[in-house]
Amino acid sequence: MTSESTTLEAGTGNTPEYGRLARLTLAALGVVYGDIGTSPLYAVRECFFGSIPLDVNPDNVLGVLSLICWALILVISVKYLLVVMRADNNGEGGILALLALLDPWRGKRSKRLKATLIILGVFGAALLLGDGMITPAISVLSAVEGLKVAAPATADMVIPGTIGILVLLFWFQKHGTGTIGTLFGPIMIVWFLILAALGIVSISADPGVLLAINPWEAVRFFQDHPSAGFFVLGGVFLAVTGGEALYADMGHFGGKPIRLAWFGLVLPALLLNYFGQGAFILQHPDDVVHPFYNLVPHWGVYPMIGLATVVTVIASQAVISGTFSLVRQAIQLHQSPPLTVIQTSSEEIGQIYVPIMNWLLLLGSVSLVIGFGSSSNLAAAYGVAVSATMVITTVLAYFVMRDKWKWRASVAYLVTGLFLIADISFFSANLFKIADGGWFPIAVSSAAMLMMTTWYSGRRLYHMKAIARSIPIDLFINSIQRDGPPRISGTGVFLTSPGNNVSGGLLHHLKLNKVLHEKVILLTAITEDIPRVTAANRLEIEEMPCGFYRVFVRYGFMQSPNIPVALKFCADQALIPDLDPETVAYYADRATLVATTDNSRMSLWRKRLYGFMSRNSQRAVEYYKLPPGKSVELGIQVEF
């Protein structure tokens, strides 16, 4: 059974399938489409009134509208909804899930290609971290800027008001989104219906804008304005920036509800509103600064500002939650140091809170609002990160087509080539924004990339050094059999790295205390390259001589490890005889790293950076949810 059908059949009782599908579609509207649903606030404006203004005339308006229309169809409808979303890793989407689906660590590819795929996937994930700062800033700021239209005298309140909303938004994250999640879908339905209604009213005054449905209008626009048309692509791209969010949030709802919401409501509403803005620009070419708000009757501007603000908060919430999920995936795939991850819902696995990332996102968003001052200026920073991620997604999708779906090379080349024409065009156009603000997401993602690769490489080097200093488990147990130390009652659980060697902490403990528990569990937590591991497949237990047990606990990269719960399951199911969780003592290594100038490929400054990250990362006691009163950290010093 596919993940999608599993999602749809997850209801209770005899509720008809269409009822479950309707609820999932409503929820998808509230979470998935917040980002792309706020693009009408600024996309058309940036095409005509951005950093490189475009003359307002019928040919230009039809050309821009045609570009927006076919960008939504090709990039969102075809690429993401019909093709890329088929590449689900046990139901989960997103660029790290796509990378894990390819399994580049263990494939038959060359070492260079493996490294390239890993770097591309990690860099794409790092780019989305920068987007997590920009999206709340530009979305909320563009909504509050409606005050300039309703009451120009209140323009000075735009920046303080935006900052206040952002502070409340990020402050609320620690409480989770469950309490307001049921409101998101109905609000977004109202939003899209209003977008459609405003567009229809405006189109009725100038139906000629509907000619933009013809792709020839976009071709003719480029023929007449090859240079200007290229720069306009940077504004057109703002209409499709939510594409990655569709893929990343797939695991929450399944593909069918997301597709139904898009084709049934979102796409028609967006196209009608964009065409309506185009019609209004043609009717008022000399008095249009905010074409979206100019569609609204004067009496409705203030309510629209309020609704737009709520919708931008929803859009920001989706991006923030996606960033939290991305961080957890990076932690589980060993691309990030352990960080505090708080589950805010007992029912929804996707509702988590990462405190340090939350406050970094707030700091970045507020700094962007203050530094750029307007959504128009901020649009220069928006698009570089997302367009680059879209290129990477297409490249990784090609390997899925060939390796997983077994498509013929000619078909895979044709499909990815078509997508890359659009992706690279958008990315190239956004590159011209770097000097005007596009450097910001590049700088953020580069810093994130450096830290992620440093952590991954440093962790591998550390474990190599630690293994070289340890001894195999069978030799250790043989020595215990020959001249074993005194045994005390209870169970000692020693966290152990993958492999067949005992941990340095166990050797250190035996050297200092000269005793061992009567029952010793060498426990290794393993993160698999799948989103979730079922309870039935979580534990692997091997009984060894002298009261030793080798236990492997497996988790998916969307799950947070909890060792005491796993041991309680062992006790409840009698998988380890006479195991009493109340008498268990947990032991975890706490390494002090000393960087040295050895012959390893890792430079000294990166070793020091890894050491700094290790010292400031979440401790194993916290990461594995070990009870503080029953846990001991064993300090060891490791040169690496």
For 583-606, the pLDDT digits (tens) are 899 998 887 777 777 766 788 888
Q: Of 91-100, 183-192, 501-510, which range is least confident? A: 91-100
Closest-CA residue to 121 (of 381, 350, 326, 419): 326
pLDDT computed for residue 129 by the predictor: 80
Tens digits of residue pLDDT in 480-493: 888 778 999 999 99
DSSP state of 38: T
d(CA 592, CA 28) in angstroms, rounded, equals: 46
Residue 349: per-residue pLDDT: 55
Could you identify the residue written with the tokens 């075809």? 78
- Report d(CA 389, CA 601) in Å as an integer: 29
| CATH assignment at residue 150 | 1.20.1740
Q: Provide the residue type at 17 as one letter.
A: E
Q: Do both 432 and 484 map to the same domain?
A: no
Q: Answer yes or no: are the C-beta atoms of 247 and 89 closer than 8 Å.
A: no
How far is Cα 322 from Cα 591, in angstroms, rounded to an integer? 32
Distance CA 316, CA 303 (A): 20
pLDDT in tens, 277-299: 999 998 888 766 778 888 999 88
Q: Confidence band (pLDDT; 50, 70, 90) for 344? A: low
User: Which residues lie closer than 8 Å to 444 by C-beta, 6 or more apart?
Assistant: 126, 129, 130, 133, 364, 385
Cα separation, 381 vs 40, whole angstroms:
18
Per-range mean pLDDT, top range of 354-358, 419-423, 427-431: 419-423
Q: Which residue has the tokens 């209801």?
A: 11
Pairwise pLDDT comparison (592 vs 124), residue with the higher score:
124
Q: Do 212 and 118 share a structural domain?
A: yes
Strand pairing class (352-353; 516-527): unpaired
Q: From CA 566, how far away is CA 560, in angstroms rounded? A: 12
State residue 104's pLDDT score.
67
In a domain, 453, yes or no: no
Same domain, 305 and 247: yes
- Is pLDDT above 50 for 582? yes
Q: What is the pLDDT of residue 290?
A: 79
Among 108-122, 342-356, 618-632, name the one with the lowest average pLDDT.
342-356
Is residue 188 domain-shared with residue 53, that is, in the same domain? yes
Segment holding 518, helix H or strand E? strand 516-527
In the predicted model, what is the mean pLDDT of residues 249-260?
Answer: 80
For residue 585 the two structure tokens come to 């003592």
Reported as type and span, the H/E element at residue 352 is strand 352-353
Residue at 306 is within a domain: yes
Tokens of 552: 């492997």
| Mean pLDDT over each residue of the chain, to the nearest integer | 84
The answer to whether residue 8 scores a pLDDT higher than 50 is no
The answer to whether residue 602 sits within a structural domain is: yes
The pLDDT-based confidence of 348 (bands split at 50, 70, 90) is: low
CA-CA distance, 458 to 607, in Å (whole number)?
7
Model confidence band, residue 10 (pLDDT cutoffs 50, 70, 90):
very low
Q: Cα–Cα–Cα angle for 324, 330, 333, nearest 5°?
A: 145
Domain that holds residue 569: 472-639
pLDDT (0 to 100) of residue 13: 42
Residue 465 located in a structural domain: no
Domain stops at, among 437, 460, 490: 437
- Same domain for 595 and 487: yes
CB 382 within 8 A of CB 134: yes
Q: If you average pLDDT over residues 160-165, what whole number do you get? A: 92
Task: Give a yes or no: residue 21 inside a domain.
Answer: no
Name which of 557, 337, 555, 327 is nearest 457 in CA terms: 337
Provide the domain count of the chain.
Answer: 2
pLDDT at 541 over 80: yes
Name the DSSP letter for residue 609: H
Q: What residues contact 251, with CB distance under 8 A and at least 6 apart?
A: 3, 88, 91, 92, 93, 94, 97, 350, 531, 558
Q: Which residues of 612-626 are buried (b: 16+ CB within 10 A; e: fewer)?
A: ebbeebeebbbbbeb
Label residue 196 by pLDDT band (50, 70, 90).
Answer: very high
